[in-house]
A and B are shown apart, each in its own frame.
Chain A
Amino acid sequence: MSDVNEIVDKLLQEVRRGTITIGVLSQLEQPKYGYSLVATMAEKGVQVDPGTLYPLLRRLEKQGLLQSEWDTNEARPRKYYLLSPTGKEVYDKLTTEWRKIVTSMQVLMDEGGEVKNGND
């Protein structure tokens, strides 16, 4: 049984990897710093490892999807990230595509269920 769990974990990790990017983009219409993003996403039920999120934010910035600014006014300097115009456009397109995926996956999985029942 532990084998099954291990495989499920691995596959889920792969599924999540792609969703995290979309999730992050969805939260950055307002500027946020890394750890506050971890917290808000966790609140909404999406657990993100800071060790994954921080490098991801940098990569997205490098790709031009995010803009960043250091806030040095507070005691602890923090880097705030915000969607860039390109990022916004990308996020909108991704949202549309994501909805399509959800719909078609729904169809696929429902069909799969029907066949199974039919065989019984």
Chain B
Amino acid sequence: MEMIERYIYAVTHRLPQSQREEIAKELRGLIEDMLDERVGQNDRTIYEVESVLLELGDPVSLSEQYGGSRRFLIGPYLYNQYIAILKIVLMALGIAMSVVLAIEIIAEPYSIYNHLVRFISLVINSSTTAFAWITIGFAIAEYKGTRPKVGMWKPSDLAAVPKYQKEIKRREAITGIIFSILFLVFIIFSNHLVGFYVFEDNELDRIIPFFNSDVLSKYLPFIYIILGLGVLKEGLKLVIGKWTKKLATYNLLINAVTLALVAFIFSNDAVWNPYFMQDIAKITPQHEAYETIKTIWENSRVSVVTIYILILIVDTVSVFYKSFKS
């Protein structure tokens, strides 16, 4: 009977290869026995077969019973955190993208349609990427078994309830994620908007960008890694939930890698717009203003990296401080 084979297939095809054949054989025997009990070999009709299969129940739940312990990509232990982080990152992404959209529309109001199209494709792209990476991260955590083995538990293992000042406020991590996304969205997609805004008769005439878009785009993979590390850092804060030495160490490592990548990118002078001073010269007839801007421009190229280093050092130290403060 074909329906019996279909049923057996429905039960077994989700089970491990090694067990399929035997379970199928056993089930086939069982169904035959059950049929025999109802009617003889010759009087079988589709109704008897159906009633036997109905008695055995939904093949999916039977298959689950055979499967024994359930296996998860992301199990119940991590699921809530997974959903929380997913929501936060996607929300932060949305906010950051909207800010970029708003600025683009203000800066170039004539091409709203283009901005919108780009905005939508950016939102789709970046949210799928974020979704994928967060899921992969949690799947690895699940696979590696972040959950301590059942039965190995001792009361002395219980972590201390975080003191109020040691608790990481959700707000803080969320703001961190929004800013790192915002910052990098600008660097990656809207670096033409980061620049010197030239106004003529109280209207925005044009923007002289700080960066050289073409060169910067060659560093895209690195910039993505920096963004990923930034989100990872805030994500760890959310997952760990309190200022601990472990968190401070992770923070140090992430900051060190981030710094190395930033230094690597900016060590190439070509990432800066080579025509910047030339363009400035065109709009500043007065010599003095030009000289001032030139000094600032030349210094800023060094100071961007210096300021970044300082920010990272302050961040690293403050996280260590918070974790050691009792």
Contacts and interface: CB of A to CB of B under 8 A. Distances in A.
Contacts, number: 45
Interface string B1-38: 00000000000000000010011011101101110000
B26 A34 contact: yes
B32 A54 contact: no
A88 interface: no
A14 interface: no
Nearest to A36: B33
Given A49-B57, A77-B25, A54 B30 contact: yes
Interface residues of B, number: 19
B43 interface: no
A79 B29 contact: yes
A69 to B, nearest CB: 12
A112 interface: no
A76 interface: yes
Contacts of B65: 51-52, 55-56
Nearest to B11: A51
A34 B66 contact: no
A76 B29 contact: yes
Contacts of A50: 30, 34, 55-56
B26 A79 contact: yes
Interface residues of A, number: 17
Nearest to B69: A59
Contacts of A58: 19, 23, 66
B16 to A, nearest CB: 12
B122 interface: no
Nearest to B59: A51
Given A58-B23, A59-B68, A51 B62 contact: yes
B26 A55 contact: no
A35 interface: yes
Interface of A: 33-35, 49-52, 54-56, 58-59, 62, 76-79
Q: Which 9 A-B pairs rank lowest in CB-CB distance, beginning with the nearest?
A: A55-B65, A35-B33, A55-B66, A51-B57, A51-B56, A51-B62, A79-B26, A78-B29, A76-B29
Given A55-B62, A77-B25, A79-B29, 8 more contacts: A49-B57, A50-B30, A50-B56, A51-B57, A54-B27, A62-B68, A76-B29, A76-B32
22 contacts: A33-B29, A34-B26, A34-B30, A35-B29, A35-B33, A35-B34, A49-B57, A50-B30, A50-B56, A51-B57, A51-B61, A54-B26, A54-B27, A54-B66, A55-B65, A55-B66, A56-B65, A77-B25, A77-B29, A78-B29, A79-B26, A79-B29
